[in-house]
Homo-oligomer: A and B are copies of this chain.
Amino acid sequence: MKKLDSTSKADLPSQIAKAIRDFIMAGDLIVDERLPSESELADQFDVSRPTVREALKRLAAQSLIRTQRGASGGAFVNRLSFEEAYGQQITTSTLLLSMNAVSFETACEARYALERACAALASQRRTDKQLSVMKSEIARQADADLTDEAFCASDVAFHRALVDGAGNPVLSYQLAGAVEAMQPLMNMITFTERSRATIIALHQRILDALRNRDAGLADSALVDLDEYTRSLGREVVSKRQARTGTTSTA
């Protein structure tokens, strides 16, 4: 049924995990189907149960399977939900950004490039509900008592509504990772009263454009927001360099 490559130098759990993963991805195991028990798998692959367990844990870490204890328990092929996929994407993106020292400029550019693509679609398809979410987030952002973190969170919610306005779950999924992963970077930026007002005004321009289904205005507002966000980032970086003399970009 399943076979291992005995010539491979990879450790056994990896090989077993790969074999099962290939099985699932090829469609030989469908969603909610039960895998053989750990003991049976151990027999099939001719390894011990702990080895099989490690392989299953690897798959569980990727949300490919879920396990259940009990009489009719076992490992089941998991229907990957968009939510779980978000989580993984965010984890991966966050690490990529933090470890590969992607510059704020690069991350910003990618984010707004994707958002502009969404805005073009959203200007056609946005629902009233999404407009009202954006409106209420703008109202929240105007609260002077808001902490920087809360301001950023509201910002994320606003942009999320914008992205969802495109009505394309694949785009929402792709972008969610980028936006969320950028939040630690965004949090490092200090939002003065003046910069908050500027951002809110730009948000309002985006909202108005979407309300009027004007893709061109939405795009130009996003371009301006892109440029403004980058200038804020540059400011923070230069200030820090002046203060510490470091050249880190992370």
A residues whose Cβ falls under 8 Å from a Cβ of B: 13, 17, 21, 24-25, 27, 31, 50, 53-54, 57-62, 64, 79-82, 85, 88-89, 91-100, 102, 106-107, 109-110, 113-114, 116-118, 120-121, 166, 168-171, 173-174, 177-178
Contacts and interface: CB of A to CB of B under 8 A. Distances in A.
Contacts of A109: 121, 168, 170-171
A98 B27 contact: yes
Nearest to A79: B99
Contacts of A93: 85
B80 A85 contact: no
A198 B96 CA distance: 38
A201 to B, nearest CB: 24
Given A57-B13, A117-B113, A92 B88 contact: yes
A171 B110 contact: yes
14 contacts: A25-B91, A54-B54, A62-B88, A89-B89, A97-B170, A102-B169, A102-B170, A106-B169, A110-B174, A113-B171, A116-B117, A117-B117, A174-B174, A174-B178
